[in-house]
Amino acid sequence: MKRYFCVFVLLMLFLLTACKDDSLSVTSDGESVAASDLAAAGCVHEPVNDPRVEPTCTEPGQTEGTHCALCGEVLSGHTEIPAAGHMPETAERQEPTCTAPGFVGEVRCTVCGEVLEEEQTLPVLGHTTENGRCTRCGQYIGGVWETRYYVDQFDQPTEDWYISCRAVGKFSNSATVDDELEAQVLADSTGDITFFLYEYGSYQVKNHSSGDWQEYVVTMRSAAGDLRMTGAMYAGGDRIFLDAVYVPSVLEALRGEGTVMFHIVPVEAYVTETEYLFSVEASNFADEYGRMTGADV
């Protein structure tokens, strides 16, 4: 009896072990074979429906179909659907200027939200200062006081130098208000300070009289305050000469720091509506003037 019991226990252990082998399946003739070999052995398929899998931005999907529950063989469908790919949004963009940087905002996918491109900073453009006026924004840029020389009748340089700077401002008269003005300020080796004025940026102000001077009131505003001065444009002249008594005050202002403003008005009653306003930066004037005269800065 004891021997039969041992045989029974061994038989049960064998059956339990066989049942745990999921890779085995029973064919129609009663034999156990691996599931992967069922198809070759003539599996009687048991179809299972598989739902459609939608693709994502980065992963492919597949169509709906069926597979065999016994051997795993795909019976129908299961065609791969390619990954959809990202749908980038339009990035916000701000162009840089002469003085401020710009940027291109980050780019995200409108479907999954993934960041595709990081935000980028666009560098400041900077002013163009070749002629003292920025070609991009029109602003007058200081630091462009230049030393040049007067020429003779043969258009050859003389020993007489002048330090000059161009400025941008505005003018008004009976025909216009706050229109474009270009001005040029000169300080030269003879001790004169002169002003050239160009209405609308190109039409030079001149004295067309052959015998009369045109007198002007020139008010200067600097760090020291306001100073009312006088000057004149000679008969047939093309520039305003500041009266000599005021030259030291203007030189002192220009050899300082910051902005120096000029407001110029003709004295004659019939042109009192005319006025000119512009400013220059002291900038490198002291260096240039000191270099040419040997004066201490």
**Is the domain of 109 the same as that of 229?**
no
- Under 8 Å CB-to-CB from 205, ≥6 apart: which residues? 196, 197, 198, 199, 233, 238
**Is the domain of 184 the same as that of 77?**
no
**Is the domain of 64 the same as that of 103?**
no
Give tens-digit pLDDT for 14-27.
Answer: 555 544 444 444 44
Q: What tokens does 234 get?
A: 């000679």
pLDDT band at 289 (very low <50, low <70, confident <90, very high): very high
**Is the domain of 166 the same as that of 71?**
no
- pLDDT higher for 135 or 163? 163
Q: What tokens does 56 get?
A: 């994502």
Give tens-digit pLDDT for 227-239.
Answer: 999 999 999 999 9
- The alpha-helical segments, DSSP class H, found in the chain are 2-19, 247-254, 285-293
Residue 128 lies in a domain: no
Residue 281, domain extent: 146-293
* Residue where a domain stops, chosen among 28, 48, 81: 81
pLDDT at 52 over 60: yes
Mean residue pLDDT of the chain comes to 82
Report pTM. 0.55
Provide the number of structural domains found in the chain: 3
**Is the domain of 31 the same as that of 160?**
no
Determine the distance from the C-alpha atom of residue 66 to the mean position of all C-alpha atoms in its chain, rounded to a whole number. Answer: 57
Find the CATH number of the domain harbouring 286. Answer: 2.60.40
Residue 136 lies in a domain: no
pLDDT at 248 over 60: yes
Residue 133 lies in a domain: no
What's the confidence (pLDDT) of residue 154? 92
**Is the domain of 161 the same as that of 240?**
yes
Mean pLDDT, rounded, for 170-177: 92
pLDDT band at 132 (very low <50, low <70, confident <90, very high): low
Residue 185 lies in a domain: yes
What's the confidence (pLDDT) of residue 158? 93
**Is the domain of 213 the same as that of 278?**
yes
pLDDT band at 41 (very low <50, low <70, confident <90, very high): low
d(CA 263, CA 84): 68
Residue 224 lies in a domain: yes
